Every structure is written in C-alpha cells, then in structure tokens.
Amino acid sequence: MSNLINVKKEAPIGFFDSGIGGLSVLREAIKLLPRENFIYFGDSKNAPYGTKTVDEIKRLSYAAADFLLGKGVKAIVIACNTATSAAASDLRSTYPEIPIIGIEPAIKPAVQLNRRGKILIMATPLTISEKKFNNLMKSFENTSEIIPIPCAGLAELIESGNIESLEIRRFLEIKLKPYLSFDISTIVLGCTHYPFIKDHLSAIVGEDIPIIDGSFGTAKQLRRLLIQKDLINESIEAGKIEIFNSLADSKIIDLSYRLLKQ
C-alpha cells in the first residue's frame, strides 16, 4: 500500500477508465493542471463496464488502481461514471491515504442553467440502475423533470475509434427520436465516452441545446484535493503524459493520444 508521507509532488496522477472515454476527463485536467504528470490506464480489453455486474466492475477497478499505484501515483481519478458508481467507495476504504476522485453525471449544473424543458441524461444501463445515481436524480425531482436514457452499446461504438461514423449517428437518432418532440432543456452526458460525440448530438437536437458532462467538475475537484494535501507539482515545465491500455495494440494507444488533442 502506498504512503502519501513519502510521495513527491512531482509524482504522477493516475487516471483509469473502461477504455478511451476517460481521456475526455484527462483532457480537462491537463488544461487545469498543465505542470502535472499523468498516467492513464484504459481497460479496453474488458470494455464496456456498463453492462457488467457490480462485482466484476469492482474487480476490474481494483486491478486498474493497483496498476496505477504500482507506477507511484499520488492520486487516482476514476474517469468512468460506471466504475465510480460501483467501486469508488470501496477503493477509498482500501486506500484511505490516496486521494481518489470519481465522476458523476452533471445533473446539478444542468439544473442550475434554469432552462425550460426536460433534462435528458444519457448513461450506461448500470449507471442508471445504481442507487447512487437514482438518489442524485431524486434530489432534483422537485425542481426539474429529468429523464434517464440508457445507451447500451454506445460506448462500444465510440471505443471502436470511428467517432464520425454514420453508425454512431444512426444510433443516436434512434435513441433520441422519442424525445425530439419535447422541450429539451439540457442533455447531460453520464458516460465519459460520450463527450467525443457531442457534434453528432448537436446536429440531432440543435446547436442551441446545451450538452454538458462532469469532466470539468472532476478536474476542479482533483485540483482542490491536491492543494488541500499540498501535492501540487511546482515544476515550471509542462507535465508528461503516459498512456497504457490492457489491449496489446499500438492502434488504441495512437487513438488515445489523438483524442487527447481533439
């Protein structure tokens, strides 16, 4: 088990996700903390997490966390909504000395926009079925009408890397068609894979509908915890980024670096 007493400020920050989706969160963290070093682990071999059991997701999350701790990280970001729902609490109990930050659907920011209409939340089936998610949704039921939309299969389509594909566009058109006659206030993206297909969504629902996710809020929480624990990297140089993936395939690594630059 790691010991934060011996952790240096220059130590990297670890990120993990079921695949490439968490890169959308890492992208925001790099903007906010440009001098930090980052290690990203994508578990594309076992993707998607959103259709697995809670126990399976916990096992995979522990394996990812152990990989990152073996690299000497000073903090861990669970850059996956599904893994956050299933495993964040257990991971924090197991590693109380390591700052562990999860990601949740950005329902509160959507409600605070105070726009007329329904809030649509797109997420994996497991995220939507989790008690934590339903409690979060219920906490706003008196102020907003929130409609969860389970999107089984979407993360896999994005994971294939062909973000601009007609297959993804058609999937979204079918999924959103029942709601296009409504007044839509906001679309909340409850899976870290989904920000990569925002352009598709805007083309379907209209450029005037805000599409938001929890990436920026997660990056801000990471910065807050690093400041609180006096772990901010004080180097004057830009940080380094290393990406690993459970798939032994250089193509997924190349795709990951490309997505970071989008």
Amino acid at 10: E
Q: Tell me, yes or no, whether 57 and 178 share the same domain.
A: no
- Could you read off the pLDDT of 235-250 as tens digits, one per residue? 999 999 999 999 989 9
Identify the active-site residue in 11, 119, 121, 191. Answer: 191
Q: Tell me, yes or no, whether 172 and 231 share the same domain.
A: no
Check whether 4 has a pLDDT greater than 70: no
Mean pLDDT, range 31-45, rounded to an integer: 98
Q: Tell me, yes or no, whether 126 and 189 share the same domain.
A: yes
Is 151 a known active-site residue? no
What are the C-alpha distances in Å from 256 to residues 48, 59, 69, 139, 182?
16, 24, 21, 36, 36
DSSP classification of residue 65? H
Burial 157-180 (b: 16+ CB within 10 A, else e): bbbebebeeeebbebbeebbeeee
Rounded to whole angstroms, how far apart are CA atoms 129 and 126? 5
- Could you read off the pLDDT of 95-121 as tens digits, one per residue? 999 999 999 999 999 999 999 999 999
Check whether 231 has a pLDDT greater than 60: yes
Q: Tell me, yes or no, whether 20 and 90 share the same domain.
A: yes
Check whether 20 has a pLDDT greater than 90: yes
**What is the number of domains present in the chain?**
2
Q: What are phi and psi of 51, to 5 degrees?
A: -115, 10
Q: Tell me, yes or no, whether 125 and 208 share the same domain.
A: yes
Per-residue pLDDT at 192: 96
Q: Tell me, yes or no, whether 128 and 94 share the same domain.
A: no
Rounded to whole angstroms, how far apart are CA atoms 20 and 243? 10
What are the C-alpha distances in Å from 257 to residues 41, 64, 123, 139, 155?
12, 19, 24, 38, 18
Assign 1 a pLDDT band (cuts: 50, 70, 90).
very low
Per-residue pLDDT at 248: 86
Q: Tell me, yes or no, whether 120 and 22 share the same domain.
A: no
Q: Tell me, yes or no, whether 184 and 220 share the same domain.
A: no
What are the C-alpha distances in Å from 199 to residues 156, 194, 210?
18, 10, 12
- Could you read off the pLDDT of 134-162 as tens digits, one per residue? 999 999 989 999 999 999 999 999 998 88
Check whether 2 has a pLDDT greater than 80: no
Q: Tell me, yes or no, whether 222 and 92 share the same domain.
A: yes
Q: Tell me, yes or no, whether 142 and 180 share the same domain.
A: yes
Identify the active-site residue in 80, 111, 163, 253. Answer: 80
Q: Tell me, yes or no, whether 193 and 229 share the same domain.
A: no
Per DSSP, the three-state class of 188 is: strand
- Could you read off the pLDDT of 156-206 as tens digits, one per residue? 999 988 899 999 999 999 999 999 999 999 999 999 999 999 999 999 999
Task: Print the domain residue range for 252.
Answer: 4-103+215-260
Give the CATH number for residue 166: 3.40.50.1860
- Could you read off the pLDDT of 40-83 as tens digits, one per residue? 999 999 999 988 999 999 999 999 999 999 999 999 999 999 99
Assign 5 a pLDDT band (cuts: 50, 70, 90).
low
Q: Tell me, yes or no, whether 75 and 47 share the same domain.
A: yes
Q: What is the pTM of this model?
A: 0.92
Per-residue pLDDT at 132: 87
Is 191 a known active-site residue? yes
